[in-house]
Amino acid sequence: METGKKKFLKRGVDYPIVDGARTLPGKYYHSEEIYAEEIEKIFNKFWIYACRAEEIPNVGDYKTIQVGDESLIIVRDKSNQINVLFNVCSHRGTQLCAEEKGNFNTKAIQCPYHAWTYDLSGKLLAAPQMQESEKFSKVNCSLPKAHVHEWEGFIFVSLAENPEPFEVQMEALIGKFADWKMADLRIAHHIRYELNCNWKLILQNYQECYHCLGVHPLLSELTPVQSAQHDFSKGAVLGGFMDITKERGSMTMDGEAAAPPVCDVSGDDLQRVYYYSIYPNLLLTPHPDFVMFHHITPLGPEKITNDCYWLFHPDVIKDKSAQVGVKSAIDFWDLTNKQDWQVCEQMQVGTKSKRFTRGYYSGREEILHILDQELLKALGHEDPGS
């Protein structure tokens, strides 16, 4: 790291950033080797977002997710407990479930190849023509499990054998958005975007508004760019907020609130929109009247899916007269998302150039340097500038 430079001070937080901070080299967005390290050292070890509890409300409901080469089944069992099972039969390794979501109507999971059958907690119930002995026992053939933790209706999983406690990694989240009562909110809409860019570019784009005036003219009208504040950086959580221009307004096509304030939201939060990165794959955006979030799934160094969800209070979703406001919020963020995706994909192309070495961060991109440092620390890499 270069020395003798001045620290940037962000309101409320002293970030260890120096003037002249450099971006990561282009290889961090394109290298297959670095991507493999990220999967092994970050996605297979950190607590990562998996799905909403409301997506599997009933016994036997399941959803599958992909984490690198691992497929996981998130399923609700007969005791209403959520289990996260590795999607691989203990017999010969066949993938048990190929569908993205559904319900195990038999209340059991059966391998499509040789009919080995498991209960919803992963216990092996039947192995046709296999005779139990000292060398083979059904007790020893349960499906491997991942760790699971539910926070405010969001289900997180960890593939690590002994993960850091959720409350330690996600300390900043505990109680942070309690007024929104997000466990009580429901999905009003979902859009899946398939993007040709590295997963880190989406996180970086999300945490800075240096680009907003040029890329997002409507967003810049609704929320002053200069109002951006980063108010937390600890563990896997980084975030802040921006002010909303219109009194009791929101981020919609006309700037009007899409719905009444969410649950107990009051005071300053009625005029703020929050942007929190829950590292490495969840972007959480509470508004006064709804919550939007992104679920990022890397599919290689240069490809991701980005599932965007809009959460509203159930009363708003049921109210037909409220759907104009809901649609306005969805349309605004779909427009804004697509503007972001275009520049992120162009950055993916540009950083592959042999003429690109490392760029320089502006004074409004300090948080991106923090993200870079978290990545290098997790990978065990030296800072390229040191």
319/336 Cα distance (integer angstroms): 26
pLDDT higher than 50, residue 8: no
Give percent of the chain with pLDDT exceeding 90.
80
Architecture of the domain whose range is 26-43+182-379: Alpha-Beta Complex (3.90)
Q: What is the CA radius of gyration of the chain?
A: 22
**Residues whose CB falls within 8 Å of the CB of residue 264, separated by 6 or more in sequence, listed in order:** 178, 179, 180, 181
List every span in the chain annotated with CATH 3.90.380.10.
26-43+182-379
**Mean pLDDT in residue range 71-96:** 97
**Residues whose CB falls within 8 Å of the CB of residue 3, separated by 6 or more in sequence, listed in order:** 18
pLDDT in tens, 100-140: 999 999 889 999 999 999 999 999 999 999 988 888 999 99
Q: What is the pTM of this model?
A: 0.92
Binned at pLDDT 50, 70 and 90, residue 62 comes out as very high
List every span in the chain annotated with CATH 2.102.10.10.
48-163
User: HSE-up of 244 (CA within 13 Å, CB side)?
Assistant: 24
The CATH number of domain 48-163, selected from 2.40.50.140, 3.30.360.10, 2.102.10.10, 3.90.79.10: 2.102.10.10
Provide the pLDDT for residue 18.
57
Mean pLDDT, all residues of the chain: 92
First to last CA, the chain: 4
Instruction: Kindly report which listed range (164-178, 218-232, 348-362) carries the lowest average pLDDT score.
Output: 218-232
pLDDT higher than 80, residue 353: yes
Buried b (16+ CB within 10 A) or exposed e, 303-312: ebebbbbbbb
